[in-house]
Amino acid sequence: VCHVHRVGKTTLLAALLGCVPANERIVCVEEAPELAPQHPHVVRLTTRAPNVEGAGEVTLRDLVRQALRMRPDRLVVGEVRGAEVCELLAALNTGHQGGAGTLHANSPAEVPARLEALAALGGMARHALHSQLAAGVHVVLHVVRRDGVRGLAAVGVLERGSELVRVLPAWQDGRWGPGRQRLHELLDGAHCVGSSGGDGVEC
C-alpha cells in the first residue's frame, strides 16, 4: 500500500489482513503497534530504542529476520522505511503465502524507484531489487485523502520489462487501465464488486 501522510493506509491494510484465512499465521513488524487486524492468529513485533548506554536497540530489520523464524504464512511490515526492504523481499520469494507493507510514495508508478533507494541502504543492487520485485510483489494499492475523505485512488500491477519493473495501472479513479487483465489473472477466479462511473464491475 503506497500513500502520503494520514490517509488511512493502516485501516486499509488491517481490513485486507482480516480477509486472510483463519488458519494462517500473520506476523506484523512495526515501529509502533498500530495494525490491529480482526484475525485470530496475529503475532506482533515492535522495535525498541537503545537505552541510555546505546545498547539494546531492536530495529525493523532485526525484527523481519526474527519473524522469518516464526514460520509466518503472511509477513507484514507496517511501514517500509529502510534497509529492511531487503529482508522483506527475500521473505516474499522464499515460499511464504504472501505479505504486505506500506510505503511513502506519491503514486504507484513511483514505487519501484522508492524501493530502489531503500534497498540501496541495505546494499542490494538495482538489478537484484528489480528481480526480487518481479518475483515477490504483484499489486500496489494507492490511498489518498481528498476533501477530507480518504479512499482508494488506484490499483497497479507490477510488470517486468527487459531489465526493470514498472507499475502498470489496472484501475484509477473509477476507470480501468491497461493492467486490468493482469489483475484479473492474479485474482484467479475471485469475485469482487466495485464501481466504475456508477456501473457495477465484477472482476
Query: DSSP states of 116-146 as a string?
Result: HHHHHHTT--HHHHHHHHHHH--EEEEEEEE
Report how far residue 173's alpha carbon sits from residue 17's, in angstroms, rounded to the nearest whole number.
24
Query: What pTM was computed for the model?
Result: 0.85
Report how far residue 178's alpha carbon sits from residue 142's, in angstroms, rounded to the nearest whole number.
17
pLDDT digits (tens, 9 = 90+) for 142-175: 999 888 888 899 999 999 888 899 999 999 989 9
Show the cell assigned to 54: 546505546
Rg of the chain in Å (alpha carbons): 17
| 143 in Cβ contact with 152 (< 8 Å) | yes
Question: What local confidence, expressed as pLDDT, does residue 90 receive?
Answer: 85
All residues at 6 or more sequence positions from 78 whose CB lies less than 8 Å from its CB, including other chains: 10, 13, 28, 29, 30, 31, 32, 34, 35, 101, 102
The structural architecture, per CATH, of the domain 2-202 is: 3-Layer(aba) Sandwich (3.40)
Mean pLDDT in runs of 10 for the chain (203 residues)?
Answer: 82 93 95 92 95 92 91 91 89 80 92 94 93 92 88 93 91 94 81 40 40
Show the cell assigned to 60: 525493523
Task: Point out which residues pair with 166 in neighbouring strands.
Answer: 159
Question: What local confidence, expressed as pLDDT, does residue 197 receive?
Answer: 41
What is the number of other CB atoms lying within 10 angstroms of the CB of residue 115? Answer: 24
Question: What local confidence, expressed as pLDDT, does residue 8 receive?
Answer: 82
| 75 in Cβ contact with 64 (< 8 Å) | yes
Question: What local confidence, expressed as pLDDT, does residue 41 receive?
Answer: 96
Question: What local confidence, expressed as pLDDT, does residue 95 receive?
Answer: 67
What is the DSSP pairing of strand 74-77 with strand 26-30?
A: parallel
Report how far residue 174's alpha carbon sits from residue 119's, in angstroms, rounded to the nearest whole number.
33
